[in-house]
Amino acid sequence: MERVELIAPCHFGLESVLKREILDLGYEIIKVEDGRVTFRGDQGAVCRANLFLRTAERVLLKTGEFKAVTFDELFEKTKQIPWEEYIPEDGRFWVTKAASVKSALFSPSDIQSIMKKAMVERMKLRYRKERFSEEGASYPIRVFFMKDIATVGIDTSGVSLHKRGYRQLSSKAPITETLAAALILLSPWKKDRILVDPFCGSGTFPIEAAMIAANMAPGLNRSFTAEEWTGLIPRKLWLEAADEARELENLDVETDIQGYDADGEVIRAARQNAADAGVEHLIHLQQRLVSELRHPKKYGFIITNPPYGERLEDRESLPQIYREFGESFRRLSDWSAYVITGYEDAERYFGRKADKNRKIYNGMIKTYFYQFMGPKPPRREKRGPEN
């Protein structure tokens, strides 16, 4: 298995950010679709993609793609996949997730059951056994139907990649780490620029920004299902990827990243999360109301996820919150603001129409990424050699 095809699912609307990440890792893009990017690499790509990709939800090792409109077709075509090349005799395998869009086969439980039976039949023929212990490493299968075309892959990640391992404590409506990273990467913010999140909650935006600034691999402090696949991906490839990640990391980088929240308990949780991520020294976290938002310097960035009335009892306070947010933003000379929210009246109470607006699904919640752009800072003059 020298060259492999991998599928990286992501948030709908942020495929371009993930595509750029994959290209930066040096891999070939095969296909970009709604909510996922397919790419090609060597065996080490499984390890590096899991460790380095900030915006992917997981990494799947693609095993097959076929058309199926009946359960008989699904059974036979699943059986044709050379499962024995991926799954050892004692491997634990099951179809953990089935999704279907605009397809004749749409019952997840039936799809899962039939595919498992087909896999067992294939394994019986190849291993010449009637029963399998399934006591070894895990090989969770995922299948996605789109217009009757089934794409099948083995999940190499296990727990979703948004679980970086640092967020033990969270606020009421946390934004996922992968979505936060994608929105930061979608903005023009760079590590030498100011970044403030006035509704930081459990600290996800500041922590992800600090990890980006320090070039810290998001998957370095967690484990992955495919690490157990000793026969498929040599252990040394995981060790090499981890060594590469440590060599690239720079925890001495200078930053101006700040996070505020009105709730002191939440700020304490954010500080603990930042400490667990290893970036507490790169972030300033403070209990502060959005009406008190100030900064003496120009050309900073606000990247934030303000409340948007997920609970009915919170909705009455939203106009005031967004009004105060807008007033504070107008006091910041030449700043830019990038705001993700599901609140339909955000622009109205913020007091300004966004320069750009992007629809993004945060799970099942439709949100908008409002982009209020300030001017670019003047170019710094390059000093030539002294005469």
User: Which position has the token pair 């990494």?
Assistant: 59
Report if residue 44 sits inside a domain.
Answer: yes
Report if residue 166 sits inside a domain.
Answer: no
CATH code for the domain in which residue 20 is found: 3.30.2130.30
Report if residue 231 sits inside a domain.
Answer: no
Same domain, yes or no: 12 and 50: yes
User: Which position has the token pair 């050699």?
Assistant: 385
> What total number of domains does the chain contain?
2
Same domain, yes or no: 181 and 57: no
Report if residue 63 sits inside a domain.
Answer: yes
Ranges of residues in the chain whose predicted pLDDT is under 50: 387
Of 167, 198, 205, 208, residue with least CA distance to 306 = 198
Cα torsion for 315, 319, 324, 326, to the nearest 10°?
120
- For 386, residues 6+ apart whose C-beta sits below 8 A from its C-beta are none
Same domain, yes or no: 189 and 147: no
Same domain, yes or no: 66 and 108: yes
- For 47, residues 6+ apart whose C-beta sits below 8 A from its C-beta are 226, 233, 237, 238, 240, 241
User: Which position has the token pair 């320090």?
Assistant: 214
Report if residue 23 sits inside a domain.
Answer: yes
Same domain, yes or no: 29 and 145: yes
Same domain, yes or no: 213 and 308: yes
CA distance 97 to 83: 17
- DSSP letters, 138-160, are EEEEEEEEETTEEEEEEESS-S-
CATH code for the domain in which residue 184 is found: 3.40.50.150
Question: Which pLDDT does position 387 carry in this prediction?
Answer: 42
CA distances from 274 to 38, 189, 200, 284, 315 (A): 32, 20, 12, 10, 30
Of 344, 341, 347, 307, residue with least CA distance to 323 = 347
Same domain, yes or no: 26 and 103: yes
Taking residue 239's Cβ as centre, other Cβ atoms within 10 Å add up to 11
Report if residue 234 sits inside a domain.
Answer: no
Bridge partner list, 286? 260
Structural domain of 13: 3-155
Per-residue model confidence as pLDDT tens digits over 123-142: 999 999 899 999 999 999 99
User: Which position has the token pair 């990038």?
Assistant: 338
Same domain, yes or no: 255 and 330: yes
The DSSP secondary-structure symbol of 83 reads G
Report if residue 163 sits inside a domain.
Answer: no
Question: Which pLDDT does position 385 carry in this prediction?
Answer: 53
